[in-house]
Amino acid sequence: MSDPLILFVTDLAATELLWCATVKAAVSPPPMRGDWAAFSEWLAERPERRTLPLSVLLPDQGCSRLMVPIPGASREKALQALPFALEDLALDELDQLVTVLGDRPQTPGRWPVLLVNAELRTRVLDALSVLGLKPQQLVAAADVLPVPESGCFHVWTEPVSGSLSVVTGPHEGMAFASLAGVNPAEQLAHILTRLEHPPQRVVLQMATERPPDWPSSIEFETHAEPTLADWCVLWRAGLTTNRLLSAIASPRAAGDQHWRRRWVQVAAALVAVLGLVLLSQGISAGQKNGQVQQLQVQIERDVHAALPQVTRIVNVQVQLQQALDARHSGTQSDGLLPTLAFFGAAYRVAQPNDPKLAIQSLQFSAHKLTVALVAEKYTVLQKLLEQLQVTHAAAGGWVVSPIDAGVDAGVAHMRIGMEQLRPEHGSREQAQ
């Protein structure tokens, strides 16, 4: 990604500009200086300059950087409490300021806040709009300067305007105009004596002498004033390393927020769909459970009706098989199963001859099985009866006789009676 084009607005009227172009040389050149027209001409020299990411720095006199005491770690709640917390801290009316709250507290209960002069912000954004530019960020110039260690203040002289910017910590500081012919250190000394928590050391980034009234408890240190080329290096480093508060949402951040909203909407829809699926599955499972319970009750009712001797159902299949085995053997045998098998063999032979051949009813009483049959063809019923009689004649052991038969409304019907001969019956018939 390309280094950003840095644009520094030097005054509250937003008429004088410094801009630092991206460079590949080892030594950074000084920034260019001019008004909006000069900046526009410079952009027009190379069309690719318009495609560079743009970071705009606002003069510190148009911004306030402060830590606001708000309990808790919820940003939503902090936003609600912020107007009340700023009543005693902001020098201007809140409706004249654009308020930016940090994403999270710097330390527990202390939130970073940036206040930007609303008119200054509007002038800058309008001028950029005329040029067809959308900045990535709009930040206070002091926010991109090196952050001093705890207990130390850094004092800078802003280029062009010469106003003083005091950086007291991350997202904290003050700014005031320098007085002509007055040592900046003298102006600062009067302020330091009124602070509730003065620093232990002050580093002035300028060549100046220690004033006579400088507080003796505060260490006085001076460094060489940065050149214009040095300012470009300082700003670029701060844009990379410092945690910044921007008075606008960058196009990328706005896009990310848009997509976050879209994803939240999609996630909400998915949650709703998932809830409906789970609900329907729950209802379906509940219905199935109800059907299973109803079927279980019906099975138990039928088993008790068929097997009254069974008082407790444990395994229906096993208990039913045991009951059938008991009926098929010994003194309890009543001939039902053998008779069914005898009839079933003949029925399977006849069934392919008439698709409408069907068993209308089965009745077993007094060792006799009565079967009511219907079919489309009466001849099929007659052949079934003959097959049963032929099988009886060949194998013996059953008495087969037609009870009634006929054709009504085009439907053939027949009732057949079958009874397995018991041993005593068979011996009696043989004796006769």
User: What is the helix (H) or strand (E) element at residue 117, kind and residue range?
Assistant: strand 110-117
387 neighbors 345 (Cβ within 8 angstroms): no
Summarize the confidence of residues 399-413 as an average pLDDT.
88
Q: What is the pLDDT of residue 282?
A: 62
Q: What is the pLDDT of residue 333?
A: 59
Ordered structural domains, the chain, with CATH: 5-248 (3.30.420.380), 334-431 (3.30.1360.100)
Instruction: Name the pTM for this structure.
Output: 0.59
> What letter does residue 53 receive in the DSSP assignment?
-
The dihedral through the CA atoms of 416, 421, 422, 424 has a sign that is positive
Which tops the pLDDT comparison, 75 or 422? 75
List pLDDT tens digits, range 92-122. 778 889 999 999 999 999 999 999 999 999 9
Instruction: List Cα–Cα distances, 89 to 6, 68, 110, in angstroms.
Output: 30, 8, 14
392 neighbors 414 (Cβ within 8 angstroms): no
- Least confident stretch, 28-37, 305-314, 353-362, 388-397: 305-314
The pLDDT of residue 89 is above 60: yes
> What letter does residue 62 receive in the DSSP assignment?
G
Q: What is the pLDDT of residue 428?
A: 43
User: What is the helix (H) or strand (E) element at residue 416, kind and residue range?
Assistant: strand 411-420
In sequence order, what DSSP letters do the residues of 162-198 get, joined into one string? --EEEEEETTEEEEEPPPTTS-HHHHHHHHHTT-SS-
The dihedral through the CA atoms of 400, 403, 407, 413 has a sign that is negative
Summarize the confidence of residues 167-176 as an average pLDDT.
92
204 neighbors 184 (Cβ within 8 angstroms): yes
Q: What is the pLDDT of residue 264?
A: 47
